[in-house]
Structure 1
Amino acid sequence: MTRQGTDTQTTIGRVTTGMRVVDATGTEVGTVDLVQRGDPNAVTVEAPTADPGSSLDELIESVAAEEPDVPADLAARLLRSGYLKIVGSDGATYALAEQIAAVSDRQVRLTVPAADLAREE
């Protein structure tokens, strides 16, 4: 794992459920509902060759856990990187571990605006 990757995993390791999350503009996004540390060895799912009619999204849904509930390519990226599931008044969103700018005792600050976060499907 690279130095930056190690720093990212250390940062996400300081996040706990229930923490308040604000975006890069200082706007409250919601609270942390789930923290998932990254797994750089997470398996990427490839569409099966035996059934070319199956979509990658259908394959992910059949073999993966319920989280993260996003398209397959993004789910693989979130699992490798690590992520936060954030629940707010507009529903749930996901932030990649590298989108965390800082973690204090009660708050997580992101490097991106809320509009750039992945929305739960």
Structure 2
Amino acid sequence: MNQQGTERQAMVSRVTTGMRVIDVEGTEVGTVDLVQRGDPNAVTVQAPTADPGSSLDELIESTAVEEPDVPADLAARLLHSGYLKVSTDLARTGAVYVLAEQITTVADDQVRLAVPARELPPEE
């Protein structure tokens, strides 16, 4: 992992659930629900497929939402770099994702972002 990636992971590792997230414009986005450190080996994401002959328990498990709940190409980026899932009233789905590189500072129980909230991808 390069130095920039290492610094990003160190910043993500300082984030805890419940921290407030503030965008570059000073708008409170919401609170951190999930912290996921990056995995440089994560390149693809495959959705589980349900076998129509499966038991009810297997069917329920196969349709359970995997994180991150975004299109596959974005999911691969999020998994590779690391991300936060943030609960928010600013998205109709109730959550948005923050890439590790969009975090500028983590201090005083707050996560500050380098982008406006409107640029954060919503949960599907």
Q: State the distance in 2 between where 1:61 and 1:24 align.
A: 33
TM-score, normalised on structure 2? 0.82
Shift of 1:14: 0.2
User: 1:94 Cα deviation (Å)?
Assistant: 0.1
Unaligned runs of 5+ in 1: 46-59
The question of 1:68 aligning with 2:68 is answered yes
* Residue number in structure 2 paired with 1:98: 101
**Equivalent residue letter for 1:79:** L
Cα distance per residue 1:92-116 (max 9 Å; x no partner): 0000001000000310000000011
- Between 108-117 and 62-71, the greater mean CA deviation after superposition: 62-71
Give the structure 1 partner of residue 87 of structure 2: 87
Q: How many residues are paired up? A: 107
- 1:120 corresponds to 2:105: no
Sequence identity (%): 68
Which has the greater radius of gyration? Answer: 2
For residue 42 of structure 1, report the CA deviation from its aligned partner.
Answer: 1.0
CA offsets per residue over residues 6-39 of structure 1, 9 Å max, x none? 0000000000000000001010000000000000
Structure 1 residue ranges (4+ consecutive) displaced by more than 3 angstroms after TM superposition: none
Structure 2 unaligned residues grouped into runs of 5+: 50-61
Query: Are the counterparts in 1 of residues 44 and 72 from structure 2 also a CA contact under 8 Å?
Result: no
2:110 maps to 1:107: yes
Q: What residue in structure 2 maps to residue 6 of structure 1? A: 6
Q: Supply the distance in 2 between the matched residues of 1:120 and 1:28 (Cα, whole angstroms).
A: 18
Letter in 1 for 2:69: D
Verify the 8 A CA contact 2:103 2:111 in the aligned structure 1: yes
3-state SS of 1:40 partner: coil
RMSD of Structure 2 on Structure 1 (CA): 1.5
